[in-house]
Structure 1
Amino acid sequence: MHTWGSRTVVLLAASLYAVFLPLLGWVEQFWTLVPALALFGFAGNLLNVSVNTQAINVQAHYSKPIMGSFHGLWSLAGFLGGAFGTLLISWQQSPLSHFLLVAGLGLLIVAVAHQFTLRQDEGSEAGGMSLRRPEPYLLRIGLIAFCGMLCEGCMFDWSGVYFQRVVQPDATMVTSGYVACMSTMALGRFLSDYFTHRFGAARMLQISSTLISLGLLTAVLLPYLVPAIIGFLLVGFGIASVTPLAYSAAGQARTVSPGVALALVSTIGYLGFLLGPPLIGLLGEVFNLRISFALVAVIGAAVGVLAAGIATKSAKVRTPA
């Protein structure tokens, strides 16, 4: 992105993301599935970093934060994708036909949307990638993303298991915690821009940290259906703004370009998403899931500690390129 610009990379990555998806429907053996997943994952994270760089550039033309709304649309797309997949399964469509249809839709979106992308990146004159220690500011933002995405990964992978093993509701309510968390996460991302504009990034991260810890501790200390659902609702609101705010803050680094800064923060953050769920499972086996979720509450509290002193600079109104 530093060499070609985020516009070129986001269009290439979005196209590859769509093209690689049908590969997952064609493969029938493990040894072919692994490289297909590797290609798909590569395109996905390349798209993640480049489209967030575009979002930071768009936000620079506004007088208030808008990053949360972009991530809210991502959450909304997740709901729509799940519903669309459920519909196709009910129609007894094969994975390959499902993936080909989604790939075609993805390429159509790229064809329509490419004309609205920004051609020039803000801060592209700053440094590119180099083998040196990142500045402390970016390391701190990366750790915030790490903690936030670890909590997010825990809710993605373990909320249903927690309800099944610990809360033990009626079978029809086992997924209620997951649904509660994902719903408030999506809603919270659309609301987070308003509250970030009002309270500032550092205060918003501290509020988010409090909600994550309070929600998880509620579910741990009161492992019953209603309190656990309320707790997971709070967690969803808490994790909603951590990643968008971390990405926004990364884009304000001045020693490297926004794309390079986002790549670094995204890499550290995804380590939390990758390592968190196995860690929860290991602790759950050694101790129990309540202890595991209590540890995640502590990690959520670390977001607020790390956020002290992080302040997102006010964006200036500019004429779009």
Structure 2
Amino acid sequence: MNSAALPTTKKHVLRIAVGAVFFVAGLIFASWASRIATIQQELGLNDAQLGGMLFSIPVGLMLSLPFSGWIITKVGSRTVLAFALVAYSITLAGLGSAAHVYQLIACLVLFGFASNAVNISVNTQAVAAEQLYKRPILASFHGLWSLAGFTGAGIGTLMIGKGITPLYHFCIIMLLAMAGTLFSYRYLAHDKGPADDTPAFAWPDRSLFKLGIIAFCSLICEGAMFDWSVIYFKKIVLAPGAWIGAGYTAFMCTMATGRFVADYFAHRFGIKITLQLSGLLTATGLFVAVLFPHLYTAILGFMLVGFGVSSVVPLIYSTAGKSATMPAGMALAAVSTIGFAGFLAGPPIIGFLAGAFSLRVSFTLIAVMGLCVTAIATKAKLN
């Protein structure tokens, strides 16, 4: 795609289309996250067993890594994104229909496989869109993903309140996701290039590896909020039934808000300071929720976590895309792969720690990851 020749109107249309698929992807994941506690109860799983089940998602991620990178170089991120989103939505419905543990495991593996393909291809589209503008816009795309998470959490809370089963809930989301994908597909960037011998994945150099580790640490915290916030409010905070989703909703609200202002804040104060502050906010929020596990203090803590994690991944991806040592696409794929592994591996680790100790201990250890973001960002070379 020749970005220089692209008319201004079409640039805006591309941005809207990419934003729409970010929203669809976020809605799918948030729908699953909002019903984890329900599925856990229906299948009679304890916290440790649930943690084991959630490890199926990283398994799908690892299986997807070589395939996703390879297929994007062959057919382009536009085509991969369309097929991956359809598969993502179908496996969501499969999660709702799982009546046995082995069925849930199989669906979670496929869910992880599709989610990674979506993650890599949609961020490739985002980088292509950002290159058409003279200012950072990547964080706003992630803001739409977070806004979708907030929307999905609200829908999930409504579905729980109405007694609607996960299967019917997820089928509704599947149809909405397919409609959104169909609408956006024709406007996405045609990025299929001539075949060459460029590897689909390359190990990042030292600077990019540090970016990946920062994303990894932050996404462990973010993944914990997605998969365990409802359970934390139910079992530790002992929130009333109508309030068990309040922490998750508060987290998603502040994360979405933070991402819509992240580009401006980073431009004003610099990426390093933004990442340092992000790590401190994340750790502070988690410590508040652990030390004061009461309804309003826990909500406040989860709000701080949302602000903390909001800017990390968009800024890391944007910085990686400007790498001077690797092509933007390869750098993005390498860094996002390292980071997304934390997003998927964190929740099952919390489950095992909760089974061995308690959820409060798990969340304390996750808070340390926020401090790691600050520490690594302090030492990394960031512009």
Q: Which range, TM-score by smaller chain?
A: 0.7 to 0.9
SS in 1 for 2:73: coil
Residues 1:273 and 2:347 aligned together: no
Distance 1:147 1:91, change over 3 A: closer
Q: How does 1:99-114 map to 2 (within 5 A)?
A: 99-114=170-185
Aligned to 1:53: 124
Task: Select 1:303's aligned residue among 369, 373, 377.
Answer: 373
Distance 1:253 1:31, change over 3 A: same
Cα deviation code 1:114-149 (max 9, x no counterpart): 232122489x9995335x643112211111111011
Aligned to 1:319: none
Residues 1:226 and 2:292 aligned together: no
Give me the identity figure in percent.
46
Residues 1:200 and 2:270 aligned together: yes
Q: CA deviation at 1:217?
A: 2.5
Q: Measure, in 1, the Cα distance between the counterparts of 2:163 and 2:296.
A: 36
Between 86-95 and 62-71, the greater mean CA deviation after superposition: 86-95
Aligned to 1:73: 144
Name the amino acid aligned to 2:109: A
Q: Which runs of 5 or more structure 2 residues have no equivalent in the other structure?
A: 1-71
Contact kept in structure 2, 1:57 and 1:121, CA below 8 Å = no
Q: CA deviation at 1:58?
A: 0.9
Name the amino acid aligned to 2:334: L
Cα deviation code 1:58-114 (max 9, x no counterpart): 112222221221112112222333444566677777766554543333333223212
Aligned to 1:188: 258
Contact kept in structure 1, 2:219 and 2:340, CA below 8 Å = yes
Distance 1:185 1:145, change over 3 A: same
Runs of 4+ in 1 over 6 A off after TM superposition: 88-94
Aligned residues: 310
Name the amino acid aligned to 2:141: F
Q: Measure, in 2, the Cα distance between the counterparts of 1:94 and 1:26.
A: 9
Q: Measure, in 2, the Cα distance between the counterparts of 1:90 and 1:284.
A: 27
Q: CA deviation at 1:31?
A: 4.7
SS in 2 for 1:16: helix
Task: Select 1:118's aligned residue among 178, 183, 189.
Answer: 189
Q: CA deviation at 1:51?
A: 0.6
Contact kept in structure 1, 2:255 and 2:307, CA below 8 Å = yes
Q: Measure, in 2, the Cα distance between the counterparts of 1:20 and 1:172.
A: 28
Q: CA deviation at 1:258?
A: 3.4
Q: Measure, in 2, the Cα distance between the counterparts of 1:31 and 1:286.
A: 23
SS in 2 for 1:129: coil
Distance 1:157 1:14, change over 3 A: closer
Contact kept in structure 2, 1:50 and 1:259, CA below 8 Å = no
Aligned to 1:244: 314
SS in 1 for 2:74: coil
Q: Measure, in 1, the Cα distance between the counterparts of 2:163 and 2:364.
A: 41
Q: CA deviation at 1:269?
A: 2.0
Residues 1:156 and 2:226 aligned together: yes
Q: CA deviation at 1:195?
A: 1.0
Name the amino acid aligned to 2:199: G
Contact kept in structure 2, 1:153 and 1:276, CA below 8 Å = yes
Contact kept in structure 2, 1:22 and 1:100, CA below 8 Å = yes
TM-score, reference length from structure 1: 0.80
Aligned to 2:6: none
Contact kept in structure 2, 1:149 and 1:269, CA below 8 Å = yes
Q: Measure, in 2, the Cα distance between the counterparts of 1:20 and 1:214.
A: 36
Task: Select 1:63's aligned residue among 110, 134, 138.
Answer: 134
Aligned to 2:114: 43
Q: Measure, in 1, the Cα distance between the counterparts of 2:197 and 2:130.
A: 18
Contact kept in structure 1, 2:150 and 2:249, CA below 8 Å = no
Q: Measure, in 1, the Cα distance between the counterparts of 2:91 and 2:237.
A: 39
Distance 1:311 1:60, change over 3 A: farther
Contact kept in structure 1, 2:161 and 2:242, CA below 8 Å = no
Instruction: Report which of the two has the higher share of helix.
Output: 2
Task: Select 1:178's aligned residue among 224, 245, 248.
Answer: 248
Contact kept in structure 2, 1:7 and 1:50, CA below 8 Å = yes
